[in-house]
A and B are shown apart, each in its own frame.
Chain A
Amino acid sequence: MISNPGTFSLGYEPQVDFGTPEAVSDISVTLTIDGRAVEVPAGTTVMRAAALVGASIPKLCATDNLASFGSCRLCLVEVDGMRGTPASCTTPVAEGMSVHTQTPRLAKLRKGVMELYISDHPLDCLTCSANNDCELQDQAAAVGLRDVRYGYGGANHLGEAADRSNPYFDFDPSKCIACSRCVRACDEVQGTFALTMDGRGFASKISAGQTADDFLSSECVSCGACVQACPTATLQEKAVKEIGLPERAVVTTCAYCGVGCTFRAEMRGEQLVRMVPWKDGKANRGHSCVKGRFAWGYANHADRITTPMIRESIDEPWREVGWDEAIGFAAERLLSIKAEHGARALGGITSSRCTNEETFLVQKLVRAGFGTNNVDTCARVCHSPTGYGLKTTFGTSAGTQDFDSVMQADVILVIGANPTDAHPVFASRMKRRLRQGAKLIVIDPRRIDLVRSPHIEAAYHLPLQPGTNVAVLTAMAHVIVTEGLADEAFVRERCDWDEFSDWAAFVANPRHSPEVLEAVTRVPAPDLRAAARLFATGGNGAVYYGLGVTEHSQGSSTVMAIANLAMATGNIGRPGVGVNPLRGQNNVQGACDMGSFPHELSGYRHVSDDTARALFEADWGVTLDPEPGLRIPNMLDAALDGSFRAIYIQGEDILQSDPNTHHVAKGLAAMDCVIVHDLFLNETANYAHVFLPGSTFLEKDGTFTNAERRIQPVRKVMEPANGPKGGGYEDWQVTQLLANAMGLGWSYTHASQIMDEVARLTPSFAGVSFARLDQCGSLQWPINAEYPDGAPVMHVDGFSGGGPNGNGRGKFVVTDYVPTDEKTGPRYPLLLTTGRILSHYNVGAQTRRTGNTIWHPEDLLEMHPADADNRGFKSGDWARLASRTGETTLRVSVTDKVAPGVVYTTFHHPQTQANVVTTEYSDWATNCPEYKVTAVQVTPSNGPTDWQEDYREQSLRSRRIAVPMTVAEAAE
């Protein structure tokens, strides 16, 4: 076993807290702390310098992810030649300074301060949930407090009522010491500003929202930063109260969104007690969101299926069987379909929620075992246009930066992304940079929260008509080129000048001016001009984009238009700039890297490339098909004509997540063998013949790769639930069982061996191993001889691709605006666009099985007041949402966040199935579905449609599990 758990499997001790944030400076300062010399960057506080040499200065209001505050008066020190006893947390170091942290004078002062704190604090330490995990308790011990001379009879706050409204943590003000750490964490770390210190002096009290609010009704987004910051039991996880303190911690990577936060999974035996963000995590820097920190209860939810199941046909109830029988049944069906209809009748879908190792094995099973390239992944429906667009322009699909880069951006352009909901931890970093003064441009049909939130206001919000991204970006390019704002020096040095000239001539055509295109985009031309000027001239310009860019008929074109804009303004190849796709699922980057696309082997090498194929053929001992395979929508089309008959789906719910639900259902129903490998009987499983129970990210070893191309370890903290203790299987083991039942003879005994194979076969992963990841914590690919430690920023010296020019130059691509075929008209006059919400993840299979449903129990349809008035809607009314492909019902929420003519909903709940109305239209280059533009009509409704009723009934029917016969019944 290569993985060395010693480094990352810790005792329970919290991470070291240096008291104040790290200072960055080229100047270093030397001082002595209790006689010990220490050299630190200028600007470091005395408290941090002391912590660095191991001196322990008592503190309560200070913690190293918050700015110095200086309120608790416990961290006083004496400094030679300085009067008084300055607070070490607010005193910067100076050359030659001599600091004393423990003197009789300080001991007396500190004891006096602590005595005051404790005089208004309950003495229920033994029964307190924070017992032994309480900074107040520790500091009382540290200062040697022995009695409280004031007694406890005076005015106090001991009888305050607790606020238990949040599903995950309690607020007990009777234990509060008014240190403001929670308020500051909410402001500085999360950037929500939901908490405040209400009142003054003795009446000071932490308050969430307005007077009448509790935590749940306030603006609080339940990120948990306040809970983490609290030095007492005032803000504490309910789980700690229920379970008790953890006894060990294992560093692992979150299985929600593409930010890839790393956490300490704090365990008590095999019971997870809490997830605490890992301060050394380079993606999240010690922060988290409500999903990653709290919404892990699905792992033990009663709905979880832990026994394999099979059935002859989808009309029958499921039959629980042993692993051998289920795997044998599946393999026999796959082999007989292959024998009868050929290898191309089989296929598979890899999971962007599973590890790199698991994904790699599924595509290996399909290519080497099934004998076809019919393998695809959910990136098909999210970021496949990023792959196409960035490869065409930059030579590689890679996002160009790391997340830290945003802290050096001067102008941030957010297009088709809603980071505060979909990538909340990164959004908090972005908001921090915006509060420091960076300018923000938002291009989005909706007024997303970033446009205006506490201490943040976008310089420009361009509320475009859905489907006109290319027109808007071309108009921006028009302004930049015609006003002479392009960075020609950069273009001459780094790009092909002739291609730039062709592109510049195209965008400069008067028909691409903002004034002309306003008729199409509905973006006021003066705003668009001003935004373009700001982006071109405002310093480091960084583009962040999401599925609002890719999920269109021209998704790939929009990505190329963004790349053109970045190159034309010289915003590539250094920190603070770049083109940054915000990937959706935790491992969607990794799933693509691992060769999940039907035309590519791992490392993005085309299946027709003889050299690449030969490498795999030699390693795997098989012959590979040199022709591209089917994409997900093509598989469904082929199923309807009978030429595609079997599919192995790991960790995806295509029935709910893919567009045009009726079409997906018909395709699945037409197949002879559908194998679903998942945690729950998801919607797709309604059409499955074999159900293989999966394992959660807590139950497996492996790696995820986040949106920064950062490969991070996933570490097993408990045994897989899909078998007896110690007899369950990680998902890669299940794939191996199936492969071996089909005669492939695999013999992996640990996930690390799969990564070794990936490294052996994939140039950009050549230097990756579990041992290396344990050593470095994480690595950003490429990791090879050229980049032994990975590449935080791409294209520093030249663009990656050889390309048609073969010279490593960026390629400008003319992107002509081609309107989508999806048009509004008299029958369907509104445009529907879809998105996500903070508390839920993707199809909601996980988050709907947690306390997060309290924030979002159902999908709502956002509609502008003008459209609502026309139709007689008020918020809460039931509405029928219909397009040419289908209809559903849901409740209306009237809001001016959306423009007139545009409606918006989420797709987290199967009862709504927003994808019943989305269409089969897709990106021209990659078939990424056009989720973001559907012509619809909305009319009043009394309740669910017939389809919804039928579907609910069908779901119940298809989820039946046969009750095994008792011995007596069997004997009859």
Chain B
Amino acid sequence: MDIGQLRHMVEQIARNFAVQGHEKAVAATADHIVRFWEPRMKAAIVAQSGALSPIARGAIELLARGVEPPSQTHATEFEAGGSDAG
């Protein structure tokens, strides 16, 4: 995968969650990646070694440790058989 592109994506997600404060933004960014990114994208971003903003870095560290934060927004909440849309 184009790691530059993935870095841009994670930074974009982090910047948009930043308004929620560092801790929440880290969890939300990690949650977003867990729910929407394909395995090789996740693997590539976890393996990358470039400089990242604190929120993006925090999120990647969570993923690297195998932590999957609970759903942080409605968008990543898919209750079994109940949600009629997404």
Contact = CB atoms under 8 A, between A and B. Distances in A.
Contact of A605 (B12, B13, B76, B78): B78
Contacts, number: 142
A802 B79 contact: yes
Interface in A260-302: none
B51 interface: no
B14 to A, nearest CB: 9
B35 to A, nearest CB: 6
A373 B35 CA distance: 13
Interface string A376-399: 000000000001101111011110
A24 to B, nearest CB: 31
A567 B2 CA distance: 40
A604 B1 contact: no
A335 interface: no
Nearest to A641: B1
A598 B41 CA distance: 13
Given A609-B78, A630-B38, A803-B77, A398 B71 contact: no
A849 B18 CA distance: 49
B5 A637 contact: yes
B38 to A, nearest CB: 5
Interface stretch (A55-63, A140-148, A813-821, A855-863): A813-821
A504 B31 CA distance: 26
Contacts of A603: 81, 83-85
Contacts of B71: 804
The winner among A374, A610, A628, A920 for most chain B CB atoms within 10 A is A628
Contact of A763 (B12, B81, B86): B81
B67 to A, nearest CB: 15
B49 interface: no
B84 A924 contact: no
Given A554-B16, A763-B81, A374 B38 contact: yes
Given A398-B84, A641-B1, A801-B83, A393 B40 contact: no
A814 B21 CA distance: 11
A537 B1 CA distance: 50
A764 interface: yes
Contact of B78 (A553, A612, A630, A920): A612
Interface string B3-21: 0010011001101101110
A637 B83 contact: no
A600 B79 CA distance: 12
A283 to B, nearest CB: 19
Interface in A574-617: 592-593, 597-600, 603-606, 608-612, 615
Contacts of A240: none
B74 A605 contact: no
Nearest to A803: B74
Interface in A841-872: none
B81 A611 contact: yes
B39 A344 contact: yes
Contact of A627 (B13, B39, B72): B39
A396 B78 contact: no
A925 B82 contact: no
B15 A818 contact: yes
A392 B39 CA distance: 24
B17 to A, nearest CB: 9
A611 B85 contact: no
B77 A344 contact: no
Contacts of A815: 19
B69 to A, nearest CB: 12
Contacts of B20: 814
Contact of B38 (A627, A763, A925): A627
Interface string A757-780: 000000110000000000000000
B21 to A, nearest CB: 10
Nearest to A800: B84
A782 interface: yes
Interface string A140-168: 00000000000000000000000000000
Given A599-B36, A802-B79, A924 B86 contact: no
Contacts of B40: 344, 638, 643
Contact of B18 (A553, A615, A630, A816): A816
A374 B15 CA distance: 27
A792 interface: no
Interface in A632-646: 634, 637-638, 640-641, 643
A279 to B, nearest CB: 30
A553 B71 CA distance: 23
B32 interface: yes
Interface in A777-801: 781-782, 800-801
A640 B40 CA distance: 13
A374 B2 CA distance: 18
Contacts of B19: 506, 814-816
A905 interface: no
Contacts of B9: 924, 927
Contact of A640 (B2, B36, B72, B84): B2
A629 interface: yes
B72 to A, nearest CB: 8
B16 A395 contact: no
Nearest to A801: B74
B62 to A, nearest CB: 17
B75 A388 contact: yes
A920 B71 CA distance: 28
B5 to A, nearest CB: 6
A912 interface: no
A605 B83 contact: yes
A963 B86 CA distance: 49
B37 A628 contact: yes
Nearest to B78: A606
Given A612-B81, A637-B2, A924-B13, A393 B39 contact: no
Contact of A391 (B5, B38, B41, B85): B85
Contacts of A763: 81-82, 84
A395 B41 contact: no
B73 A628 contact: no
B81 A391 contact: no
A811 B36 contact: no
Nearest to A813: B73
B38 A392 contact: no
B36 A398 contact: no
Contacts of B38: 344, 373-374, 598, 627-631, 634
Contacts of B80: 605, 609-612
Contact of A604 (B5, B37, B78): B78
A557 interface: yes
Nearest to B73: A392
Contacts of A821: 8
Contacts of B39: 344, 627
Contacts of B37: 628
A946 B82 CA distance: 54
A821 to B, nearest CB: 8
A391 B16 contact: no
Contacts of B85: 387, 390-391, 395-398, 593, 603-604, 764, 800
A924 B32 CA distance: 10
A451 to B, nearest CB: 31
A814 B38 CA distance: 27
30 contacts: A387-B86, A391-B86, A393-B74, A395-B74, A396-B83, A396-B85, A506-B19, A592-B86, A597-B86, A600-B78, A603-B85, A604-B84, A605-B80, A612-B80, A627-B38, A631-B38, A634-B1, A634-B38, A643-B40, A764-B84, A781-B84, A800-B83, A802-B79, A804-B74, A804-B77, A813-B73, A815-B19, A920-B5, A924-B13, A926-B36
Interface of B: 1-2, 5, 8-9, 12-13, 15-16, 18-20, 32, 35-41, 71-86
Given A604-B84, A643-B40, A804-B71, 9 more contacts: A344-B39, A374-B38, A605-B80, A606-B76, A606-B86, A630-B38, A637-B5, A764-B85, A801-B83
- 8 smallest CB-CB distances across A and B, nearest first, come from A604-B86, A396-B85, A606-B78, A611-B80, A764-B84, A816-B19, A924-B12, A397-B85
